[in-house]
Structure 1
């Protein structure tokens, strides 16, 4: 791209669109990079379109575009991703929250909102990462007591920062899976654990492998090892009338349904599809 030389935001964005199209990349990124970097809404952007872009803003925009062209995910460039209507900080110590996980949260909220036997619930998020699930649950249901666990102290720092941004009182604990809550029980447990098989690495997008934390992506035994461990432990931590919501790999539904029916013989265990029609959620209630 050329130097800004007194061009408007609209003119420079159009240059960026052409630049991305020539690289066979999504041209809509031109708009989002600018909005997220400047913390703008769509209305803010519209109000700036005919203004001259500041040289400092232009140079940052150029750097951001070049990083994106070189393969760095947009979310790590601008340091944020939107989840359940909230912008959250993300770093390379945390996974980038995905729309499929929003669907998991939505299902959990639908279930809790339908229950009238209690006025508040104890909710646990296992492997919280950026804190996305715990924050969405607490933001939507402030009366609930929410606990979030992660093995990574770096990820927990990001999660705490995100919770503080919205003044949400969430208990964050460092540790492996359920170890930090060894003697506790919960009304609702939610988790998006690592579920990609190491054998599937060659199928992964290069930018995911290069930038996202592998500890949060991959698991042993064809991606099933965390679910297998949790299947033995979760029955001791879920209340008798409690519910469990887990994100799963699209080829794991049948095996995990069998495993969790054994773990929870008195509960209904179902597999639910995501917006793309793929098996994505294991629900126990």
Structure 2
């Protein structure tokens, strides 16, 4: 089942289920099951809605404005250089612990919303990734229990302003410009996907394949990431972990594969749909 956050017919944020080309409104402007998708996760509603969703108000998926899959996460924790292919192209191999940085929730945008390239950079880059959303309070989680704390998965594009990212040892500035965290289009319950390691991620720029990898190629696995992150911070329902990007980013391509105004970036992941954003130059 594909869940999503989007703008309702009255212009307010809402959430619901996308099925058969229709967006069914389960938020305050519709069936009012929960205020937000994050609240639905917290209340245990996410992933449990039955066929009654078809009685909710609906509109064609083609006309809705998508919002980030989870619009209001308390924490967005991102993992750097976490596929072997990306470690090799960046020269950062044999890591002893995950590389962790934070992304602010207000830097995110939804499917089909513009990826905002700041006019001050010439090094705007894509990073297709798998994101997971936490289902319940998580602190000091053991690896063997980690999947019990995953509500669902979504596609993510951790767009990076490389000159700001690489100006110092801390990456946060280059990862938090407005409109640079693509998240969606859907949040799919973990129970609907089976083995997450069998999923394939593919990133395309103007139709050309730039990245392609299996989730099984992660250097630090999803259980290892959850155990590590919850070892130092408590996570709450709706919090997000973005698991890392494969090799093939624009920065290391010859000639350069960095993004320009008008480029269309798609991140497609098995079972999670295709996240699409077009680069827009902003001052």
TM-score range, shorter chain: under 0.3
TM-score, L = length of structure 2:
0.24
Query: Counting strand residues as a fraction of each chain, which structure ranks higher?
Result: 2
TM-score, L = length of structure 1:
0.23
**Larger RCO, structures 1/2 (Cα 8 Å, 6+ apart):** 2
Query: Counting helix residues as a fraction of each chain, which structure ranks higher?
Result: 1
Q: Which one has a bigger Cα radius of gyration?
A: 1
